[in-house]
Each structure stands twice: as C-alpha cells, then as structure tokens.
C-alpha cells in the first residue's frame, strides 16, 4: 500500500494547511522509506506467500520499522526533525501522519507486524490481512486516493475563492494527486 498512504496525506493536507503536502506525503510513507535500507542490508525481509511476490501477496518482516515501538520512535523522530522548520503544531501532525502509516498497514498486512522491535518476547504479530482479498484492499486504496483528491480540491478551492485568485494551480495539484495515486496503485497491482 503506497497510494492509500498518499491519499490519506492529501486528506490531512485539506485540513492542515501549514504543513507542506510533500512533507505529509513523505511522512505517510516514512516507515517504508526507513524500511528500504534495512531491506537492502537484509535486516528486514519480504517473504512471498504461495510462491509469488505481487500485490499484497507477501509477509513483510519489517520487525524494526513496523513494530509498534519502532513506529513510535520513527514517527517521533520525524516530528522532531520537522519542528524547527514548521513549528510545533505541524510537527505533531507530521508525526501523526507517520503513525497513520502503521494504522493503515495494520488493516492490509497479514499478521506480520510485531509489538516490540525484532519481535522480542515473541508477542503476537499483528495484521488484519485485507491483502488476502486484493480487490477489497485495492478498493480501499482507491477510495483513499479519490477522497484525498476531493478533500484537497475542496480546501484549495476555498482558499482560492477567499483570496480571489485563479484556480489553475489548485486544479493542477488536485489532478496530480489523483493521477499519481491511481498510477502508483496500478503499478502496485501489476507488480
């Protein structure tokens, strides 16, 4: 799930204007960004389910970045990085958007997300497994993308009307959000 996270970031941007959209989008996939070097180093791994890798058909052993404790530490760190530039309120929002990644992942992941880093104490793994129904999970992602684009458009339109300026940039940004979200979802589905 990448498109769904971006859709959620656009929804937040519609309500929280002080934080830049690109930073909210980065925050929405922050845990996956940190996952990449750990994956390359072989510390976190992806295990195919039923012998194939594709949309939602894997167990993701992101035992540090996607553990509850790891997620809280990484989200707090991103908020702390954002604080000096965008202030306390935006830093908290950015940190919470990073947390939202974990919450959305919880819906789609098979039970592979630990509570403690490295699955210490062997506590139960978390994940509701919506990926086992790829159509439903893709529909959820598409809904997030379209809702995000729609809410962003409504907020941007209101700002333009208030400032009595043209809406060209708002239209372009909205179309970019919708188009890039759908494109990413298509790439994810055909991977």
Residues near Zn ion, by CB under 5 A: 32, 105
Q: Nearer to Zn ion by C-beta: 67 or 90?
A: 67
Q: Nearer to Zn ion by C-beta: 103 or 175?
A: 103
SS (H, E, C) the chain: CCHHHHHHHHHHHHHCCCCCHHHHHHHHCHHHHHHHHHHHCCCCEEEEECCECCCCCEEEECCCCCCHHHHHHHHHHHHHHHHHHHHHHHHHHHHHHHHHHHHHHHHHCCCCECCCHHHHHHCCCECCCHHHCHHHHHHHHHHHHHHHHHHHHHHHHHHHHHHCCCCHHHHHHHHHHHHHHHHHHHHHHCC
CB of 164 to Zn ion, least distance (A): 42
CB of 5 to Zn ion, least distance (A): 8
CB of 11 to Zn ion, least distance (A): 18
Q: Nearer to Zn ion by C-beta: 63 or 105?
A: 105
Q: Nearer to Zn ion by C-beta: 100 or 174?
A: 100
CB of 173 to Zn ion, least distance (A): 25
């Amino acid at each position: 799930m990448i498109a769904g996270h971006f859709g959620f970031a656009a929804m937040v941007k519609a309500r929280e204007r002080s934080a830049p959209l690109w930073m909210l989008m980065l925050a929405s996939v922050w845990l996956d960004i940190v996952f990449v070097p750990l994956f390359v180093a072989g510390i976190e791994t992806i295990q195919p389910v039923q012998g194939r890798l594709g949309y939602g058909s894997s167990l993701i052993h992101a035992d540090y970045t996607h553990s509850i404790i790891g997620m809280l530490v990484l989200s707090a760190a991103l908020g702390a990085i954002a604080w000096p530039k965008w202030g306390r309120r935006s830093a908290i929002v950015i940190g919470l958007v990073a947390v939202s990644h974990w919450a959305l992942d919880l819906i789609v992941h098979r039970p592979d997300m630990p509570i403690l880093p490295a699955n210490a104490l062997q506590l139960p793994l978390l994940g509701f497994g919506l990926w086992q129904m790829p159509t439903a999970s893709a529909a959820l992602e598409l809904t997030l993308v379209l809702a995000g684009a729609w809410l962003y458009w409504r907020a941007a339109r209101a700002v333009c009307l208030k400032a009595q300026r043209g809406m060209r940039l708002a239209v372009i940004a909205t179309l970019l959000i919708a188009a890039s979200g759908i494109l990413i979802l298509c790439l994810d589905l055909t991977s």
